[in-house]
Structure 1
Amino acid sequence: MFVDELRRAAEAAARVELPAVSATLWKAFGAGQITEADATALSELIEARKAVPAAPRPAAALRGSRPRTDESLQRRRRWAVSGRLPPALAARFTVAELAVLAVVAAEAARHGRCGLAHGHLAAVAGVSVSSVKRAMKAARDLGLVEIEVRRVSAFRNDTNVVRVVSREWLSWLRLARTGGGVQVGAGTPTRCSSRAAKRPAEPSQGLPGRQGGIHRRVSADPGAGGGSRPNHVLGARGRTV
């Protein structure tokens, strides 16, 4: 009877429980409760169970806020290179933190502040919630943003309100809204060109030529055999010379 119980225990026990079954087996053999043949058979059964490889564990479902998809990685990279921060400030953050601050800058440029929750920021930027917290802490420590904690009760808070307070960052955002300082559209005429445009055009008088500071008007003389000769010479002030 005891042998049958040990056999059932050896067949049904998990791998981690087999050493305990083996210890019980040899303890019962020492007490004379089972024979040597039964002890040998049960010992071989236990060793055979240990030799069988363990079944692979099912893949655990991915949980948590850390993104693991190609789409989230692409969003993170697009936000990081969107140019929402000046290069001098952007060099102080990682790619994930830069993506978070770029989303904050976009919200601040649109609404004057960012009131998105950490989970919402993480989903839009393609990063984890811990990356959002690190980015906010680093930006606050550098004096780039001001974070308003809105406490509703002793155990619950509303979403934080983040405002950009850095002058360099604000100037960069204003410059981006105006197209980066590049003038768009037709150029404005210069002062000289405007004067030239207002100056009246001089009447055309034949084919004027310039020789020694004196203007000549040459007319054809039909009586000179189709040749041409100077009709009269005008001085600089229009007087005949």
Structure 2
Amino acid sequence: MLDALRNAIAEAPTTAALDVAARGLWAALAAGMLDEDRAGQLAEALEARRVMLRTPSQARTGRTPVSASRTVTLFAKARQSMPPDRRKSIERRRRLAASGPMPPQLAAHFTTAELACLRIVADEVKAHGVCTRSYEEIAARAGTCRSSARNAIRRAAALRLITVQTRPRPGRKHLPNVVSVVSKEWLAWLRIGMRDRSRQIGGKKQAATDTSLDSSPERQDIQAHTSLTLRRARSSESGLGPGKVEEGIRA
């Protein structure tokens, strides 16, 4: 009886199981199956086990429980997206970042992946006034991961370049955030079309010379008169008369 009660107390998984063991302990003491000394030892072991079960697992083991480190949610965890062609994704990311999505003094605050994501945001703002794309859509178009898209939005908001409006829906998945550009420098950059300004340095753009052939009658008369004048000048230098020049032209 003593060993059975000792094992029940040591292996009790919950406080409810300890309550059952405590009732058995006091019943055995009342029936005379245990003396007071052994009953006192079992009672001390029972209370020590009760304190251990009530103590959080982090205090007992020194480790953070898995449930405490995760956010409780009703929805499935977002799957990690993998690009079908990593090399092409990297090329697209670098190309978008190098296209100049924002002024250089602002772009210096972001990484290459973040600049590629902000280029997608800038295109949406330029076309629709705001960006309502989700982090997954921005990341897929920019050739980056979801974390890079989220970090780009957060850093731009911290620098007060954009405003982010959340759209929560209780009991359902939230709608994508509404991102608006509020930086005057960035808005001016978007208005000029994000062109490479290095092409505009050094002077005005000149129109190309028109080298197309003109078949109008006036153009043909001018060409014939010019040709006749040149031949008369050459014939005078070589000793030929005007009549011979006209005869040669008619021939």
| Higher Rg | 1
More strand by share: 1
TM-score, normalised on structure 2?
0.45
More helix by share: 2
